[in-house]
């Protein structure tokens, strides 16, 4: 059995932990540099504020509708994300963080008499300890658990935020309910093609007569997705990535204990992420570094580490993304510890042509040419022979953060002050 | 002969595994270091003050209503949100749109939030109060 746990409106929920008066009030979070809206509370969604809207365009509307505006506070979100993941590890040792606010869990070898009950326990613990509401979907495969999660999120009253697909009847019903564009890994372009072929729901996608079409359009990835939706878990599934994130993570067969080795790995993961971004013609704003220590050999209780930072401009340059990832690595890496897994996740993804241009900070135009050469070489030979030497990031960035909340959990000088009167 | 019949796979037996002690410093012949037994036992305040890392937050006291409980103006409070609020515990409460620290007092059919300074009034929780017990104060860190 798998579960997908997804934090509801994660950034908005994080802001509410330390400002409970905002529970039930509309909130939006702005992207780095206060550019555009990247997260909305349910209340803000209801008021018709759209995702991705540039701040200056909706400034007046936000004010008129009394919507609370925050700059993104990744120190806070990263810390709370880490806590959520750690709490989940109390329920099964197999937790695989998928993005800052989502994680897959696997329950093989864990005996659980009632998954709904178990899910409610997970939900209430995260709520009590962190005040973060989550939705949980259980199913036999990852792709189905993602769908179960959507149902739990959509019908909170009926499901109490936990939904399980555990029968053929429920599976078929769920697939028929799921629009093709909401299926994991089906992007905008594929949706158009699918619809032209009369594939409108996830259920249509699994119909036998569409198999050859799916194979033609999506190759083995499409077939794996089909099996997953049919309830057959594809073990080494090459996860079709969300529109929201692209992750490259690996477990190490040996141990990594030195910064130099890890720098090489992290730089490679970052380059692969950048390459994937370029392939789908998009750029990212946020870069997350993920490190996992050897659980059995670390003395401290923490062995999962996340760090997230944002770029001053959206980028898909391997050099820019790798530099930021390595800079974060240097800040958190502990010499002498044994590392088992690492990864780079890029997030806040926007289409390449929607890049905002900055007056002072812009991607080095030389990168563009260089990346093109790298991509062509890789396409031709299938080998990533052109690699990055590690470079120092000397530049420091300043950004607009006019609505930033305190770093309540990561900076001792910014902790909550409580009136005693 | 086909390749198939040549290969026999053996599964490792994890079922009957026995745990063996692990020697951090390796096993060496000769005289052992007399300090070896004491390595890795530095005092960590984190370990003492934080029982549940995921549920622990810090906050600064601003005011003197809890001085009787040892919480002075400017002290750092360690707050564990996993602890159940019960009678007598000191809690960070969110009441009517504001954070405050008080001692919980459970009476027959009533809940009171008690200050620890005679100059301040207890708060009796009425039906129209909006109260959230945010967390339980477990330690106070103060500079002397």
pLDDT for A220: 82
Check if B94 contacts A (Cβ < 8 Å): yes
Separation between Cα atoms, residue A363 and residue B130, nearest integer Å: 50
Average of per-residue pLDDT across A320-346: 89
Separation between Cα atoms, residue B83 and residue B81, nearest integer Å: 6
Closest chain B residue to A80 measured between Cα atoms? B54
Asked if pLDDT for residue B104 goes beyond 50, the answer is yes
Predicted complex ipTM: 0.74
Prediction pTM value: 0.69
Separation between Cα atoms, residue A6 and residue A100, nearest integer Å: 9
Check if A359 contacts B (Cβ < 8 Å): no
Asked if pLDDT for residue A358 goes beyond 80, the answer is no
Contact criterion met (CB < 8 Å) for A418 and B65: no
Q: Which of residues 187-206 of A touch B (CB under 8 A)?
A: none
CATH classification number, B43-141, choose in 1.10.3720.10, 2.60.120.560, 2.40.50.140, 2.10.109.10: 2.10.109.10
- Of residues A241 and A25, the one with the higher pLDDT is A25
Which residues face A22 on adjacent strands? Answer: none
Contact criterion met (CB < 8 Å) for B100 and A86: no
In A277-332, DSSP assigns E strands to: 282-293, 304-315
Closest chain B residue to A130 measured between Cα atoms? B55
Q: Model confidence at B32, in pLDDT bands (50, 70, 90)?
A: low
Number of CB atoms found within 10 A of residue B50's CB: 18
Separation between Cα atoms, residue A127 and residue A319, nearest integer Å: 40
Q: Which of residues 113-132 of A touch B (CB under 8 A)?
A: 128-130
Check if A416 contacts B (Cβ < 8 Å): yes
Catalytically active residues of B are 65, 102
Of A21, A408, A420, the CB nearest to B101: A420
Q: Strand A68-71 to strand A27-30: parallel, antiparallel, or no bridges (unpaired)? A: parallel
- Of residues A233 and A227, the one with the higher pLDDT is A227
Average of per-residue pLDDT across B6-25: 50
| Strands ordered across the beta sheet of A416-420 | A416-420, B56-63, B76-80, B131-141, B90-95, B98-107, B110-114, B123-124
In sequence order, what are the residues at sequence separation of 6 or more whose Cβ sits closer than 8 angstroms to the Cβ of residue A63? none
- Of residues A177 and A268, the one with the higher pLDDT is A177
Q: Which of residues 24-63 of B touch A (CB under 8 A)?
A: 40, 52-55, 57-63
Q: Which of A92-96, A299-303, A323-327 is the least confident region?
A: A299-303
pLDDT for A329: 93
Asked if pLDDT for residue B54 goes beyond 50, the answer is yes
Contact criterion met (CB < 8 Å) for A409 and B60: no
Separation between Cα atoms, residue A173 and residue B68, nearest integer Å: 61
Chain A to chain B Cβ contacts (< 8 Å): 72
For testing contact with chain A, the best of B39, B45, B54, B93 (most A CBs within 10 A): B54
Average of per-residue pLDDT across A71-84: 90
Percent of chain A having pLDDT more than 70? Answer: 89
Q: Which of A108-117, A203-212, B49-58, B86-95 is the least confident region?
A: A108-117
Asked if pLDDT for residue A113 goes beyond 70, the answer is yes
Q: Yes or no: say if A140 and A129 are a contact pair by the CB < 8 Å rule.
A: no
Q: Strand A37-40 to strand A94-99: parallel, antiparallel, or no bridges (unpaired)? A: unpaired
Domains (range + CATH), chain A: 1-166+410-421 (3.30.70.270), 167-240 (1.10.150.20), 245-355+362-381 (3.30.1490.100)
The alpha carbon of residue A282 is apart from the nearest alpha carbon of chain B, in Å, by: 35
């Amino acid at each position: 059995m798998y579960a997908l746990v997804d934090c509801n409106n994660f950034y908005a929920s994080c802001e509410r932990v330390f400002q409970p008066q905002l529970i039930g009030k509309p909130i939006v979070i702005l992207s780095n540099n206060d550019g555009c809206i990247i997260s909305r509370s349910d209340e803000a969604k209801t008021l018709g504020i759209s995702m991705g809207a540039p701040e200056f365009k909706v400034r007046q509307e936000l004010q008129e509708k009394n919507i609370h505006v925050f700059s993104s506070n990744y120190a806070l979100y990263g810390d709370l994300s880490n806590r959520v993941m750690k709490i989940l590890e109390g329920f099964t040792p197999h937790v695989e963080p998928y993005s800052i606010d989502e994680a897959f869990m696997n329950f093989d070898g864990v005996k659980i008499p009632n998954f709904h009950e178990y899910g409610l326990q997970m939900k209430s613990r995260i709520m009590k300890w962190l005040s973060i509401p989550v939705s949980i979907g259980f199913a036999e495969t990852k792709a189905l658990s993602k769908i179960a999660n959507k149902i739990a999120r959509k019908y909170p009253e009926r499901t109490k935020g936990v939904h399980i697909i555990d029968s053929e009847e429920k599976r078929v019903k769920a697939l028929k309910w799921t629009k093709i564009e909401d299926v994991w890994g089906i992007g905008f372009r594929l949706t158009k093609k699918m619809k032209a072929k009369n594939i409108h729901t996830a259920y249509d996608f699994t119909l036998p007569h569409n198999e050859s079409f799916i194979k033609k359009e999506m190759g083995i990835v499409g077939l794996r997705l089909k099996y997953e939706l049919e309830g057959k878990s594809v073990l080494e599934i090459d996860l079709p990535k969300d529109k929201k994130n692209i992750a490259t993570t690996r477990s190490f067969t040996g141990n990594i204990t030195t910064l130099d080795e890890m720098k090489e790995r992290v730089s490679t993961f970052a380059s692969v992420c950048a390459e994937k971004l370029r392939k789908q013609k998009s750029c990212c704003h946020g870069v997350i570094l993920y490190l996992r220590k050897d659980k059995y050999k670390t003395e401290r209780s923490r062995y999962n580490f996340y760090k997230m930072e944002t770029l001053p401009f959206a980028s898909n340059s391997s050099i820019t993304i790798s530099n930021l990832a390595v800079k974060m690595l240097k800040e958190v890496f502990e010499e002498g510890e044994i590392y088992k897994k690492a990864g780079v996740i890029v997030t806040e993804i926007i289409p390449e042509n929607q890049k905002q241009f900055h007056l002072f900070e812009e991607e080095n135009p030389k990168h563009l040419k260089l990346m093109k050469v790298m991509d062509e070489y890789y396409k031709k030979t299938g080998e990533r022979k052109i690699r990055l030497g590690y470079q120092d990031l000397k530049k420091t960035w300043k950004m607009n953060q006019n609505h930033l909340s305190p770093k309540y959990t990561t900076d001792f000088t910014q902790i909550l002050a409580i009136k005693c009167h | 002969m086909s390749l198939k019949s040549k290969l026999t796979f053996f599964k490792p037996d994890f079922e009957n595994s026995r745990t063996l002690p692990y020697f951090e410093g390796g096993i060496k012949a000769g005289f052992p270091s007399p300090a070896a037994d004491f390595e890795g036992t530095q005092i960590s305040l984190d370990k003492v003050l934080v029982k549940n890392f995921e549920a622990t937050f810090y906050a600064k006291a601003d005011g003197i209503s809890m001085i009787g409980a040892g919480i002075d103006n400017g002290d750092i409070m360690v707050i564990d949100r996993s602890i159940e609020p019960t009678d007598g515990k000191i809690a960070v409460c969110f009441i009517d749109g504001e954070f405050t620290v008080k001692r919980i007092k459970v009476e027959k059919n009533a809940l009171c939030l008690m200050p620890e300074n005679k100059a301040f009034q207890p708060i009796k929780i009425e039906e129209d109060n909006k109260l959230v017990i945010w967390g339980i104060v477990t330690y106070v860190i103060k500079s002397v």
